[in-house]
Structure 1
Amino acid sequence: MHLLAFGINHHTAPVDIREKAAFAADKLVGALHEVTAGGGAAEAAIVSTCNRTELYCGLDSSQEDHVIDWFCHYHRLNRSDIHPYLYRHPDQAAVKHAFRVAAGLDSMILGEPQILGQMKEAFATAHKAGATGKILNRLFQQTFTVAKQVRTDTAIGASAVSVASAAVQLARQIFSELSEQTVLLIGAGDMIELCARHLKEHGIGHIIVANRTLERAQQVAALFGAEAIALAEMPTRLADADIVISSTASQLPILGKGAVESALKARRHRPMFMLDIAVPRDIEAEVGELNDVYLYTIDDLKEVVQENMESRQEAAREAEKIIDTQVVDFMQWVKSLNAVPTIRALRESANALREAEVEYARKRLAHGDDPARVIEHLARALTNKLTHTPTDVLRKADHEGNKALLEAARRLFDLNED
């Protein structure tokens, strides 16, 4: 059985190509049935996310082009159009690719954990659809084990490497328990929405979204069970906020030193964490001079992200060593499968000889022969028949000077030199 992983991802293809090659979730089972029924794969699993579409297949090596043709036909793509973006990894390379993807080493954000969940879901769907077998079942189970080992034995996911995640990391350094804190988000763009998502995932107590257009603030607030206010209300609500994150398109600062001083007095100087990720800046630089205010800008966050990325890259090098070792283990298991038909044939031959001799012994016992003589004959007959063919082959090997076969026989039957 040949193992193949092929597809496209954010490294090789732009989004307009990835869109065309994606598998809809409600069509995935049908696609799995198609590719295993007539698409050339004996086993298949499909991983389809916004950043990648990949097929993992167990198939005969002669069917590799056939399954890629099926992929193109399914998506109504010309092979010449998709070829520049398509990668294919056979056998050992396929195993290594699966391990690296699950560990987050092939992701847009190094070490991100979401892809592992997506791979688990993809395998569960394929397994339930009956599209996987011995090879892919073992591959994905070991893939998940390797990903867990990488997470446990390295710091690949310990550091924040996006602006939004770094913002949460800094907030948690000031407020150890975010569930008791209130965050005021100023603006309602993509960055604010991403920050809200990260804060929500880390259990933030309350979210207030302030925006110049109240309707847009309400749209973002609805995603996270948050409160929406108009930007004009912001000064009166500032004192409620333990954390302030601002990202608007304003050309002038919208939050000055005076407003923050008033808020601090109302808060009885409980600390405020303020993050200005707008360019031009939304918060006057002088705010950073106030006691009990921790003000960070987008440049400060970039430094945090860069430091953390360097930490993750070091962890990634450690992860690669773990993966290389695990790839060798998996390929040794795959190679061991080549011996299975021979082992099965040997056992079937031995069982057939045993059944014949046991049946003969039963007949002799039924005729009243001495049981001791019957047992002795049974043992001698089995020994002679089991060693007859190997003995003939070894004599021939000795005559031909085939020392390799003679040595192999010694190893096979654990024979000493004497």
Structure 2
Amino acid sequence: MLFTLGVNHKSAPVGIRERVVFSPDRMEEALNGLTQSTPVEEAAILSTCNRTEIYFRSEAHQPTDRVLHWLGEFHRLKPSEIQPYIYRHHDDDAVRHLLRVACGLDSLVLGEPQILGQLKGAYQNANSSGTLGRQLGRLFQHAFSVAKNVRTSTAIGSSPVSVAFAAVSLAKQIWGDMKPLTALMIGAGETVELAARHLSTNEIGRIIVANRTVERAKPLADQFNAEVITLQEIPNRLAEADILISSTASPLPILGKGAVERALKVRKHRPMFMVDIAVPRDIEPEVGKLDDVYLYTVDDLEEVIQENLQSRREAARQAEEIIESQVDTFMGWLRAQDAVSTICAFRDKAHSMQLEVLDKSLQMVAAGKSPEEALGFLAHTLTNKFLHEPCDSMNQAARDGKLELIDAAHALFKLPETDTSGHKISS
């Protein structure tokens, strides 16, 4: 059976979500630990600022309890601390959930495309860690295909709506003209790049990119003619920032209350607009209590982005219809896997019969029998051998009153309907 267990922006506040984030450098350790210490045969972990989800296959009874216990142990949490925020899905509901996630229908921003790239990253991590098998691997590939179909056949991605877009839209509402402003971007990932693109479109005056390594941030900075600094330089440059957008994978806050207080003093208390998109948070929550600071987290952006969603809602309804049909398609494939071993055994048995009878036919030719006689023997004997056991089983089933087996034989062999005398009933 396939399962999903996780938390997201709808089920848990950021304070809970940031405690169950899997850092990239521990992902392989987590995947191997999960499959070794729980009754899980296949597993993949998706961990973003808005969700942490474990997708897995298990034949054990109620494996989600064991996985929840493992999740708590890995993050040094009691299961009771996260239990109220956890959702669980299995089989078709788990398939449906993954397809909805891949298409952006379960995102904070409806239809946002970044989640698909994050899912592909989760797939690659599981694949390289050796925890991705036939069923879960096929499910992820199916999800990618469905997401592509939804993108091309609906308008789900037609308008520029994302967390980054919402952050810049809010900044524009607060500041108005952005030409005189300076934006400090902390991090060099996809979300920061998208936010920088939106700022550039809105003609921001200057962009500074701060990152742990200058080399990693330089390609991003070059796109927008931005200056690059290290994280250690932030305290000395913070006062220049009218807008600050942060999204890193740091396990600890990068910006504290003291540094912001000193920057505000240098700025003579000109306001600062900050958006902390990271989970765990990059900016200490206490910063939001300072006068002249407008601090927003990903949870605060939800109200802002509602204004940008109307054009996507009809597309989302169309996407849901596509997903429902694709859930049935995948579950059909999954059920078909139960018959694979039986089909292989059936084919092997038929092939064995073929070789046995063919060998005898060749011996007849070698002994001087005519090819016609050998072919006749081959056709007659092979047919009798192939039909003997099924016919014997159907006779016994009829004697035992197991008429469902007779009906199954009709369906399996696509036999015509006949009367009790064996005559074909005309349609």
**Which TM-score applies when normalising by structure 1?**
0.69
* C-alpha distance after superposition, 1:81-121 (max 9, x if no partner): 22111111100011110011111111112221111110011
Percentage of identical aligned residues: 43
Indicate how the Cα distance of structure 1 residues 337 and 84 shifts in structure 2: closer, same or farther if over 3 A, else same.
same
Is the alpha carbon distance of 1:161 and 1:200 closer, same or farther for their aligned partners in structure 2, counting shifts above 3 Å?
closer
Q: Secondary structure at the match of 2:332?
A: helix
Report the equivalent of 2:181: 186
Tell whether the 8 Å contact from 1:104 to 1:110 is kept in structure 2 after alignment: yes
Kindly report which structure 2 residues correspond to 1:15-414, keeping only aligned pairs within 5 A, or say none: 15-62=14-61, 64=63, 65-161=65-161, 165=165, 184-186=179-181, 188=183, 198=195, 200=197, 204=201, 207-209=204-206, 225-226=225-226, 250=270, 306-414=306-414
Offset at 1:133?
1.6
Look up the equivalent residue of 2:391 and give its one-letter code. Answer: T
Q: How much is the aligned-residue C-alpha RMSD, in angstroms?
A: 4.0
Q: How far does residue 147 in structure 1 lie from its aligned partner after superposition? A: 1.2
**Counterpart residue type for residue 197 of structure 2:** K
Q: Is the 2:165–2:194 Cα contact (8 Å) retained in structure 1?
A: no
Preserved CA contact (<8 Å) 2:184 2:209: no
Of the structure 1 ranges 34-43 and 396-405, higher mean CA displacement relative to structure 2 is found in: 396-405
Deviation, 1:401, is 4.5
Q: Which amino acid aligns with 1:226?
A: A
Q: 1:63 to 1:358 in 2, by over 3 A?
A: farther
Between stretches 362-371 and 77-86, larger displacement belongs to: 362-371
SS in structure 1 at match of 2:4: strand
For residues 209 and 348 of structure 2, the distance between their equivalents in structure 1, rounded to whole angstroms, comes to 72
8 A Cα contact 1:167 1:195, kept in partner: no
Q: What's the CA shift for 1:350?
A: 1.2
Task: State the Cα deviation string for residues 106-139 of structure 1 (Å, max 9, x = none).
Answer: 1112221111110011112212222212111211
The letter for the 2-side match of 1:393 is S
Contact 2:112/2:162 (8 A) holds in 1: no
Shift of 1:334: 0.8
Between the two proteins, the alignment pairs up a number of residues equal to: 338
Q: Equivalent residue of 2:56, what SS?
A: strand
1:54 CA displacement = 0.9
Secondary structure at 1:128 match in 2: helix
Q: Is the 8 A contact 2:109 2:305 kept in 1?
A: no
- The structural deviation recorded for 1:164 is 6.4
- Cα distance, 1:24 vs. partner? 1.6
**Residue 149 and residue 189 in structure 1: after superposition, are their counterparts in 2 closer, same or farther (change >3 A)?**
same
SS of residue paired to 1:118: helix
Partner SS, residue 109 of structure 2: coil
Compute the displacement of 1:219 (Å). Answer: 6.3
Q: Which runs of 5+ in 2 are unaligned?
A: 170-176, 212-216, 229-236, 243-267, 272-290, 293-301, 418-423
Kindly indicate whether residue 11 of structure 2 is the aligned counterpart of residue 12 of structure 1: yes
Distance 2:199 2:330 in 1: 37
Alpha-carbon deviation of 1:363? 3.6
Q: Which amino acid aligns with 1:380?
A: H
Any unmatched runs of 5+ in structure 1?
170-181, 211-216, 235-247, 252-278, 281-301
* AA aligned opposite 1:139: L
Which is greater in Rg? 1
Following superposition, the deviation at residue 375 of structure 1 comes to 2.5
TM-score by length of 2: 0.68
Q: What is the CA deviation profile of residues 179-211 of structure 1, one whole-angstrom value per residue up to 9, with x for unaligned ones? A: xxx9615365789x999953526865974239x
Are the counterparts in 2 of residues 103 and 116 from structure 1 also a CA contact under 8 Å? Answer: yes
Give the match for residue 289 of structure 1. none
Q: Is the 8 A contact 2:43 2:57 kept in 1?
A: yes
Looking at structure 1, the residues matched to 401 and 205 of structure 2 have their Cα atoms a distance apart, in angstroms, of 87
> Aligned partners of 2:348, 2:67: CA distance in 1, in Å?
36
Note if contact 1:364-1:374 (Cα within 8 Å) is conserved in structure 2.
yes
Q: Match of 1:41, SS?
A: coil
Contact 2:31 2:45 in 1 (8 A): yes
**How far apart are the structure 2 equivalents of 1:163 and 1:375?**
73
**Alignment-mate amino acid for residue 325 of structure 1:** S
User: How far apart are the structure 2 equivalents of 1:9 and 1:230?
Assistant: 32
Bigger relative contact order, structure 1 or 2, given CA contacts below 8 A and separation 6+?
2
